[in-house]
Amino acid sequence: MALPVEEWRRSAARCWAVLEPALRERLAAAPLGEALRMGCGLFGPEEAALQRLCRRARTGKEPAAARFYREEGNRQFGRCCYRDAVRLYSQAAAHEPPRSPEVALCFANRSAALFHLGHFEVCLEDIARAESHGYPDRLLPKVLLRKAECLLRLGKLQDATDTLTAVENKMTVDGIMTSPIHRMLLKKLSQLKTEIHEGSCPEPAREAHGDIQRESEIWEENGSISGASSSLSLNFSTERGRHLVASQDILPGQNLLKEKAFVSVLCPGEGDSLLLQDSSETVWDTRVTNADLYCHHCLKQLLASIPCCGCSYAKYCSQNCADVAWEQYHRTECPLGALLLTLGVFCHVALRTVLLAGFSEVSRLVEWSRDDSNKDLCNAEAGGEHPSEVLDTRAGRKVIPGCNDNGQYQSSYQAVFNLLPHVEKHSPEHKFLCMLSIVAICKKLQETGLEAAVLNGESSTTGSEQKTCGKTSDELSPELMIMAEAMLRHVLQLQCNAQAITVMQELGPHRCRMRVAERQQLLSQYFFECRCQACLDELESDVESVSMRNSFCCPSCQASMQGEEMLCCSNEACAFSVSRERLSQRLLDLQQQMEKALELLRDSKADEAIKMLLKCQIDARNFLSPEHLLMGELEDHLAQVYATLGKWQEAARHLGRSIQLVEMHHGPSSVEMGHELFKLAQILFNGFAVSEALSTIQRAEEILSVHCGPQSTQIQELQEMKTCLLELPRSILQRT
């Protein structure tokens, strides 16, 4: 996804493999600009293959696709699956020509689905959109009645009345009102009028606004790093480039940075339906990609998207986002959609970065980096002997690369440009792939007459004619070479400096869940080795703490077992031995028994479930160490069964033991611990164990607010429980 599609990676690798060894060496050692110049000649023979690959990415508007999605949408609508219908009508709209009756029809259909979902405001927006895109006049009464109903639901009585009057007039003017449709509409009309007259409209519906930002946190901003907390300071080293260091102790959950991304691109996501297997296939499918879920520009979640006028893959949350995106970058990217999808997100980010920065700023910094005296700053690890701060010869002061002349860090293209590209550390093959890909983008810009738009950062129509005609040679214009050099630099930087935002991941890498070798492996893409205390301890002690706790014990005397494939009892007097495989099989059987117990619970056979779990527990004690996580799971399940029976004290007792094990394995402030405490709080709450419940709620809140944020449903539920407990009458409190 981040890198180009596999076929193009293979093409580039083949191309690299057959190069003369001398040329390969020259390419590997050449500065970026020089390598690009050589690369232009090498791209030619690969161009046709890349074009074939691009044809698989369907990014244009296709009437057949529009028809397919609209019919699918109608089907889902008929089955009352309104959410799916909204999405499918959106996909249909993206394939219809802009300002056509067809696209208007998509918006009108979508408004009906939105109405059923209770999104009245958005429904009104879609109706307005349908009207402005040329919705067929004869169908208008139906849509206007929906509009009146929305207004009514929103409590806008006057607007609703006005709309109804308009519908009535329209139907009178249209004449004959004998068709079944018209009769139905008339019935609806009179029904709505009665509702208005009687004032019987429902409570004005409030639409949910989920993303209310809370700015309650005290935020002390750093004097020299905009958007950073004062607990941080900015450093520079030859090995790491510009980086942040903690200058004060940092509490878990404390906010450290609030910076808007200089550039962001929506990842198309895995299983991308835009990339079909075969170009001859015209089969459309209803799979959902990120392009259907998030705004192409601001990445907000989409409800009723607005399609780009030119392509089928850019969808926006609002007309404003569509306009801003077009102005800033999309008018250049729009015709390049298939190429950008084929070359992957890193190339896409690189292009958008230079488009946002503008040619003059890009060229200023590229020229600066070509200057010999600045080379080491741009690619610091090549130099190797710089002090931790760098003397800016011009100003005669210490300035960290990327900061302004006053030494202050601010989000800017200059700051992005000065991130380390690690040119020396990437493999020559990888650099070659990136280089060919960037050349492909620039060639395309040159051929399609978009060059002028890129260079001026202004309207694409001005002066593009003269610039582009006749440029079919292998060469790129000097200006495009500058853009290409910057883009190549950005692609190489991205591996170490880009942030991919996926959905909130609760169980991220942590020393309690992952061994040191796995953790270090994750860091290798950043050319970085962690030397934190946890890593050092684990590397030195050679003890695999995670597996130690999840070990077997002797089935004969319960002492610990030692060995690899053959396990021997550590108690010499016992000398019991057994194969690891046997015990592993026994563990598997035990887990199956546990699953069966849970099934019993689901079938409301709680008593049988308890019996089975207790049997599992006896069995587990025979061959698992008391600290084994499965012991905790058994306790957790027992707690669950007792809770369904309303035996709160027993439930709390079992959960308490589970919590001990979770704390041992995952640590006292882990998210796992938070979840267990949350369960305990619920049990104590239900059992009226007021003071215990209150203290458990507080512990759970402290942990979960760090991991899940103060807006999470769990935190809110905890707070509701607390309020409820504090409001209990004294008489009940004294009883407990």
Residues contributing to the site for Zn ion (CB under 5 A)? 295, 297-298, 300, 308, 310-311, 314, 317, 321, 334, 530, 532, 535, 554, 556-557, 559, 569, 571, 574, 576
Contact between 407 and 423 (Cβ < 8 Å): no
Rg (CA), the chain: 32
Q: How far is the CB of 689 from Zn ion (least distance, A)?
A: 40
What per-residue string of b and e applies to 124-142 under the rule 16 or more CB within 10 Å gives b?
bbbbebbbebebeeeebbb
- Please identify which residue in the block is written with the tokens 């691109």: 265
Q: How far is the CB of 601 from Zn ion (least distance, A)?
A: 34
What per-residue string of b and e applies to 171-195 under the rule 16 or more CB within 10 Å gives b?
beeeeeeeeeebeebbebbeebbeb
Q: How far is the CB of 419 from Zn ion (least distance, A)?
A: 22
Q: In a 3-state reduction of DSSP, which class is residue 565?
A: coil
Is the Cβ of residue 554 or residue 610 nearer to Zn ion in the bound state?
554
Is the Cβ of residue 317 or residue 597 nearer to Zn ion in the bound state?
317
Residue 19 structure tokens: 């190069």
Q: How far is the CB of 552 from Zn ion (least distance, A)?
A: 11
Is the Cβ of residue 205 or residue 298 nearer to Zn ion in the bound state?
298
Q: What is the DSSP string of 69-115?
A: HHHHHHHHHHTT-HHHHHHHHHHHHHHSPTTSHHHHHHHHHHHHHHH
Q: DSSP E strands: which ranges in 339-428?
A: 391-392, 397-398
Q: DSSP E strands: which ranges in 381-503?
A: 391-392, 397-398
Is the Cβ of residue 253 or residue 310 nearer to Zn ion in the bound state?
310
Alpha-carbon span 183 to 199, nearest angstrom: 24
Is the Cβ of residue 220 or residue 564 nearer to Zn ion in the bound state?
564
Q: How far is the CB of 494 from Zn ion (least distance, A)?
A: 23
Is the Cβ of residue 33 or residue 60 nearer to Zn ion in the bound state?
60
**3-state secondary structure labels for all residues of 611-664:** HHHHHHHHHHHHHECCCCHHHHHHHHHHHHHHHHCCCHHHHHHHHHHHHHHHHH
Q: In a 3-state reduction of DSSP, which class is residue 384?
A: coil
Q: Which of 562, 350, 583, 305 is nearest to 454 (CA)?
A: 350
Contact between 375 and 381 (Cβ < 8 Å): no
Is the Cβ of residue 29 or residue 532 nearer to Zn ion in the bound state?
532
Q: How far is the CB of 62 from Zn ion (least distance, A)?
A: 14
| CB neighbour class for 293 (10 Å; exposed up to 12, middle 13-18, buried from 19) | middle
Q: How far is the CB of 535 from Zn ion (least distance, A)?
A: 3
Q: How far is the CB of 580 from Zn ion (least distance, A)?
A: 15
Is the Cβ of residue 448 or residue 698 nearer to Zn ion in the bound state?
448
Identify any residues that bridge with 478 across adjacent strands, giving them in sequence order: none
Is the Cβ of residue 345 or residue 366 nearer to Zn ion in the bound state?
345
Q: In a 3-state reduction of DSSP, which class is residue 226?
A: coil
Q: How far is the CB of 453 from Zn ion (least distance, A)?
A: 14
Is the Cβ of residue 97 or residue 202 nearer to Zn ion in the bound state?
97
Q: How far is the CB of 57 from Zn ion (least distance, A)?
A: 13
Is the Cβ of residue 64 or residue 532 nearer to Zn ion in the bound state?
532
Alpha-carbon span 578 to 570, nearest angstrom: 12
Q: How far is the CB of 246 from Zn ion (least distance, A)?
A: 14
Which residues touch 368 (CB under 8 Å, ≥6 apart)? 374
Q: Which of 360, 356, 299 is nearest to 332 (CA)?
A: 356
